[in-house]
Amino acid sequence: MKKIIVLAVVALMSAGVYANAPVVSEKVLKAFRETFTAAQNVSWHETKDQYSVRFLQSNVRYIVYYNKNGRITGSMRFYEPSLLPMNILSELKRSHTKKSLYGVTEITSGDNVAYFVKMEDSKNWYTIKADAYGNSEVYETLKKQK
């Protein structure tokens, strides 16, 4: 009897998860599948006028935003600094010689791309904002806890 109750609870919980999952239009799914052929751990979300999808592909975490017509309107990628474009990586290493690279958040909106690179030294965490040309500025500085 306990086994049946446990199975019933699991089934109801699973049904609740799927009941809240958005129904993604075929147009959006097709665009996603054509672009991200090796996506894993895919999770869709829907708002009034767009979809967002979170997934992992080639050790890069993604959040991609689609309009209802299947066009990408923006994206965020989270990855290791070694995957930065070479001009940005070399400029960051040259201009921040006493800091270690930690991680990257890349934000794309339309034609604009910004790279937010986490760096650290013995006392602080830094967020360096860089553009596609390698121009950069310190965006944020946080003191480390002792």
Q: Render pLDDT for 26-58 as a digit per residue (tens, 0 to 9).
A: 999 999 999 999 999 999 999 888 999 999 999
Mean pLDDT of the chain: 87
pLDDT band at 11 (very low <50, low <70, confident <90, very high): very low
Domains of the chain plus CATH, in order, are 2-143 (3.10.450.360)
User: 92-107: per-residue pLDDT in tens?
Assistant: 999 999 999 999 999 9
The CA distance from 66 to 3, in Å, is 43
Report the first-to-last Cα separation within the chain, whole angstroms: 55
Residue of 1 and 58 predicted with greater confidence = 58
Residue of 83 and 22 predicted with greater confidence = 83
pLDDT band at 6 (very low <50, low <70, confident <90, very high): very low
What was the pLDDT predicted at 48?
87
Q: Strand 50-57 vs strand 60-67: parallel, antiparallel, or unpaired?
A: antiparallel
Pair 78, 60: CB distance under 8 Å = yes
Pair 28, 70: CB distance under 8 Å = yes
Residue of 1 and 118 predicted with greater confidence = 118
As given in the structure block, the two tokens for residue 55 are 């997934």
Q: Which helix (H) or strand (E) segment is 30 a member of? A: helix 26-35
What was the pLDDT predicted at 19?
46
Gyration radius from the chain CA atoms:
20
User: What is the percent of the chain with per-residue pLDDT over 90, rounded to a whole number?
Assistant: 77
